[in-house]
Amino acid sequence: MTLPPIQAEVLFHIAGLPVTNSMINAWIAVLFFVVVGVAIKTTIKKRPGKFQNFVEWVFEFMLGFFDQVTGDRKKSERFLPFVGTLFLFILFSNWIGLMPGTGSIGLWQMHQGELELIPLLRPANADLNMTLAMAVLAVVFSHVVGIITIGFFKHANKFIQLGTLWKSFRKGGINILTGIIDLGVGLLEIISEIAKMVSLSLRLFGNVFAGEVLLTVIGGIIAFVVPLPFMGLELLVGIIQATVFTMLALVYLTVATTDPHGAEEH
């Protein structure tokens, strides 16, 4: 029994760029949603069938869930394409990581003088590069949407309050100290944005990778029947992790598109 390495293994190169086994799973997920999207577009009707009813129910369910965070249906509809895509991609990527052959079917290659099995498939979210890329995208996108919605200076004022600092120097006295404290708090907010990316990526990666290790250990001890409850648990974990990631991304978007405290009064 060989435990999966933390780093995704390289299978081959395309134009000098490495292609890892986790990327294969990600491409399968992307291809699946492309096919589903084309199928929805070509079969949509005024009188929906079972497939269209199911798709519409999924979107309505997500909108209702998002409303609990945004408190505004218009915002939920605006964020649905981005956050909904994240949710479905993460969920499907987690689930196809449980397909038979994932981690067990691969290529035999020489590594450091020893023959090792390089799996063809690895859960996409068991690769820190994937989860970090999605986390950076979610946080950066929230700032872009925030700037577009409330304006650059209002959004920037949530972090670096230079205007407040300048006014405090003009007033003098204790106001100078208050302005410096506000500036320091803004700098801490910038650090917190970096912490968001780190926590989002590590949480998703850690849970998915730990599940892969657990299934490998259980399968190495007893290959039949016993791993089934653990696979069911991983299905549940896949839903929970997809929900946590997307809900946090939705919170970031909601906060970024909300005017700073006191802006309405001004």
pLDDT band at 119 (very low <50, low <70, confident <90, very high): confident
Say which residue the tokens 């801490």 belong to. 188
- Whether 265 is in a domain gets the answer no
Q: Is residue 3 part of a domain?
A: no
Judge whether 18 lies within some domain. yes
Q: Cβ contacts of residue 245 below 8 Å, gap of 6+?
A: 86, 87, 90, 134, 138, 200, 203, 204
Strand 114-119 versus strand 106-111 pairing type = antiparallel
Report yes or no on 234 lying in a domain: yes
- Give the residue with greater pLDDT, 162 vs 257: 257
**Would you say residue 261 lies in a domain?**
no
Task: Provide the number of structural domains found in the chain.
Answer: 1
- Structural domain contains residue 156: yes
Tell me what pLDDT residue 120 has.
Answer: 82
Q: What is the pLDDT of residue 174?
A: 66
The answer to whether residue 144 is domain-embedded is yes
Task: Please state which of the ranges 44-48, 99-103, 116-120, 236-240 shows the lowest mean pLDDT.
Answer: 99-103
Given a cut of 80, is residue 179 above it in pLDDT? no
Percentage of the chain exceeding pLDDT 70: 83
Instruction: Give the structural domain span for 216.
Output: 10-256
Give the CA distances from residue 173 to residues 122, 133, 167, 186, in Å, rounded to whole numbers and listed in that order: 61, 46, 12, 21
Distance (Å, whole) CA 251 – CA 257: 10
Q: Would you say residue 262 lies in a domain?
A: no
